[in-house]
């Protein structure tokens, strides 16, 4: 029943929207988390520690879910440990390590635009690694429209100098890690339980982030209930989103699913308005949304000609 639902193309669109909407909540809640934990903007070590705690806990939540759903521990087979660990290193550890380090040397606008290239890189890599996920004109146009949409909302704040170039390059490494993570997920999830893959890749990646944060002197003091609630919500968001994302990539082309990540900044902006009261009613945001949606439609029009 569930597998048939996951295989449905239209449910895949809906599921991908749920994932990116959940991920969008991370933008304001991470800001709130930093404030509650007194983490300074330049304190990268504590940010890495906080991220590691979030993802390791998310992995545990997915494992507990599997325990109740399947009524037994869902564990990766011995031969699967290496690829699942690799996924945790690439998709969780390296992606967020590069992101947190890079953002310290560039602007938020640059980071948003460069992060948006995850979709484009994923589509290009998918064409290389998967024969049934061919690259076409509509896909290229769709990716470019989406990237223009992200750039549109950040155009006034984009910057380029020797310092931001270093930061931009590091953030680009984060984007490549995220894109390769999508490819690895697709590769290894074909004959594996998505619950086991998600639980252990999140846990492995989270532990590596925790170790990195502690090594460089990071600290997190959960001295109030609000900071604990924020960590729990971020962990639940990560667990639900990554579990559903992994399951969707198991049954659908990478390009069909990954292109939706371009909507993460859009949902992030909306959630910033809801939770932080930031002004989002600007013409740039509307143009950005329209361009990104048009890009998603174009990419999936091409896919629909080749796939059910």
**How much is the average pLDDT of 211-235?**
92
Report which listed range, 90-94, 166-170, 300-304, is most confident: 90-94
Report which listed range, 26-35, 60-69, 266-275, is most confident: 60-69
Q: Write the pLDDT tens digit of every residue in 63-87.
A: 999 999 888 988 888 888 999 999 9
**Residue 199 tokens, joined:** 């639980």
* Helices (H), ranges, the chain: 2-7, 9-24, 26-36, 44-70, 81-87, 95-103, 108-115, 117-129, 137-154, 162-188, 194-215, 225-251, 254-258, 264-276, 283-306
pLDDT of residue 92: 93
Do residues 307 and 132 touch, judged by C-beta distance below 8 A?
yes
Report which listed range, 114-118, 213-217, 290-294, is most confident: 213-217
pTM of the model: 0.83
**How much is the average pLDDT of 105-131?**
77
- pLDDT confidence tier of residue 191, bands split at 50, 70 and 90: confident
Is the pLDDT assigned to residue 284 strictly greater than 80? no
**How many residues appear in the chain?**
308
Report which listed range, 144-148, 166-170, 248-252, 266-270, is most confident: 248-252
- pLDDT confidence tier of residue 219, bands split at 50, 70 and 90: very high
pLDDT of residue 167: 76
**How much is the average pLDDT of 284-307?**
69
Is the pLDDT assigned to residue 118 strictly greater than 50? yes
**How much is the average pLDDT of 174-192?**
89
Summary mean pLDDT of the chain: 84
pLDDT of residue 276: 67
| CB under 8 A, 24+ apart: contacts of 217-221 | 217/45, 218/43, 218/44, 218/45, 218/46, 218/47, 218/48, 218/49, 218/50, 219/45, 219/46, 219/49, 220/37, 220/39, 220/46, 220/49, 220/50, 220/53, 221/37, 221/38
**How much is the average pLDDT of 29-53?**
89
Query: What residues contact residue 225 under an 8 Å CB cut-off, 6+ apart?
Result: none
Report how far residue 149's alpha carbon sits from residue 289's, in angstroms, rounded to the nearest whole number: 7
pLDDT of residue 265: 75
Do residues 199 and 56 touch, judged by C-beta distance below 8 A?
no
- pLDDT confidence tier of residue 24, bands split at 50, 70 and 90: confident
């Amino acid at each position: 029943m569930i597998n048939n639902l996951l295989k449905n193309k239209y449910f895949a669109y809906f599921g991908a929207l749920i994932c990116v909407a959940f991920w969008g909540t991370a933008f304001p809640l991470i800001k709130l988390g930093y404030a509650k934990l007194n983490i300074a903007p330049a304190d990268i070590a504590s940010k890495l520690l906080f991220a590691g705690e979030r993802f390791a806990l998310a992995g545990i939540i997915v494992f507990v879910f599997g325990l109740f759903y399947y009524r037994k521990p869902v564990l990766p087979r011995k031969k699967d440990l290496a690829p699942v660990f690799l996924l945790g290193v690439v998709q969780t550890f390296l992606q967020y390590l590069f992101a947190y380090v890079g953002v310290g040397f560039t602007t938020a606008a640059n980071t948003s635009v460069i992060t948006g290239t995850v979709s484009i890189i994923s589509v290009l890599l998918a064409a290389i690694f998967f024969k049934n996920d061919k690259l076409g004109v509509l896909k290229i146009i769709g990716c470019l429209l989406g990237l223009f949409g992200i750039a549109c909302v950040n155009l006034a704040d984009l910057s380029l100098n020797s310092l931001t170039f270093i930061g931009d390059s590091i953030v680009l490494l984060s984007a490549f890690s995220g894109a390769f993570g999508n490819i690895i997920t697709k590769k290894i999830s074909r004959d594996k339980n998505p619950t086991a893959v998600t639980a252990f890749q999140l846990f492995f990646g989270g532990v590596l982030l925790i170790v990195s944060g502690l090594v460089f002197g990071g600290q997190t003091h959960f001295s109030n209930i609000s900071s604990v609630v924020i960590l729990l919500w971020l962990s639940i968001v990560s667990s639900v989103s990554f579990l559903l994302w992994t399951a969707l990539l198991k049954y659908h082309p990478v390009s069909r699913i990954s292109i939706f990540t371009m909507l993460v900044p859009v949902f992030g902006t909306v959630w910033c308005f809801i939770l932080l009261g930031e002004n989002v009613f600007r013409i740039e945001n509307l143009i950005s949304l329209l361009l990104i949606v048009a890009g998603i439609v174009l990419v999936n029009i091409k896919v629909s000609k080749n796939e059910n």
